[in-house]
Amino acid sequence: MESVNSGIGSLTTKSEHGVKRECKKEANGSITLKSLPKTSCQDYDGRSRAQGSKWTEGSLQFECIEGGIKKAIACVTPSGKLLAPGEVVPENGKIIECEKDDNDKSTVIDGTGRNHRANCKDHNGQNRTQGSIWVEGPLQYTCDKKGTVLFINCVTPNRMYNILSNGANVIQGKPPMECIQHADGMVSITVLHVHRDFMCGRRHRSKKCQPTPLSRYCLDNDT
């Protein structure tokens, strides 16, 4: 406790649990007590950090700013290099990104390029970690580094196939199938019927026929 004289305007300050409180005697004889803004922060290990100081915890660099707020300000690569938010560098054959998440101001930056607070939920409400892959019915999904569920494949009983950049891929088999992801997020899977060569007119030198759909069902890809 710190005290300054005992007359009018006398001031006593006391620090408790990292918060400074001020007790002051006014000219009219009244006494006021108020809390002062915090001037220190606590790091992960519970150590006190003075306002303006900077330190590293894992892949993040923090700074203690006014009000005792611990703020992530930069990333730290495995080799110890500091990266500003949005900066991307190659290191040891890997791309390392310093990413900022506007929804989480206290831990906004991640030196691995992943937001470790962001996971996904599947259609059944089960938590899925970033990078995980799972199947729901005939569709396969993954959870990206921002916690977004992405459709990646269609799945058939006997094999799996990727959609192409234009959203369609036909697998050859019995029967052949087509998987299309549409612009609105819907995925349609169509069982196709392919005519024999002589039925397509190839033997009669006419235009080759195209596969025709026998059955189709659509799936809403909203998560």
Q: Quick one: pLDDT at residue 53? A: 94
The residue written with tokens 């906004």 in the block is 108
Whether the predicted pLDDT of 190 surpasses 50: yes
54 strand-pairing partners: 63
Residue of 202 and 111 predicted with greater confidence: 111
Domain coordinates of the chain in residue numbers?
A: 2-36, 40-110, 120-219
Q: Which range is least confidently modeled, 19-33, 154-168, 182-196?
A: 154-168
Residue of 62 and 209 predicted with greater confidence: 62
Q: Quick one: pLDDT at residue 218? A: 47
Read off the pLDDT of each residue in 135-149 and give the average, rounded to a whole number: 80
Q: What sign has the CA pseudo-torsion 209, 172, 166, 191? A: positive
- C-alpha dihedral, 17 to 20 to 21 to 27, nearest 10°: 170
CA distance 40 to 220: 51
Whether the predicted pLDDT of 215 surpasses 70: no
User: Tens of pLDDT along 37-80?
Assistant: 667 898 888 899 998 999 998 888 999 988 888 888 888 888 88
User: Tens of pLDDT along 14-47?
Assistant: 655 555 667 777 777 777 777 666 678 988 888 9
Residue of 85 and 219 predicted with greater confidence: 85
CA distance 188 to 110: 37
Mean pLDDT for all residues in the chain: 69
Burial 49-78 (b: 16+ CB within 10 A, else e): bebeeeeeeebbbbbbeeebebbbebbbbe
Q: Quick one: pLDDT at residue 31? A: 77
64 strand-pairing partners: 70
User: Tens of pLDDT along 99-137?
Assistant: 766 554 433 444 454 544 567 888 888 888 877 888 887
Q: Quick one: pLDDT at residue 181? A: 77
Q: Quick one: pLDDT at residue 166? A: 53
3-class DSSP string for the chain: CEEECCCCCCEEEEEECCEEEEEEECCCCCEEEEEECCCEEECCCCCEEECCCEEEECCEEEEEECCCEEEEEEEECCCCCEECCCCEEEECCEEEECEECCCCCCCCEECCCCCCCCCEECCCCCEECCCCEEEECCEEEEECCCCCEEEEEEECCCCEEECCCCCEEEECCCCCEEEEECCCCCEEEEEEECCCHHHHCHHHCCCCCCCEEEEEEEECCCC
Structure tokens of 218?
A: 């659509």
The reported pTM is 0.40
Residue of 40 and 94 predicted with greater confidence: 40
Peptide bond into 175 cis (omega under 30): yes
| pLDDT confidence tier of residue 172, bands split at 50, 70 and 90 | low
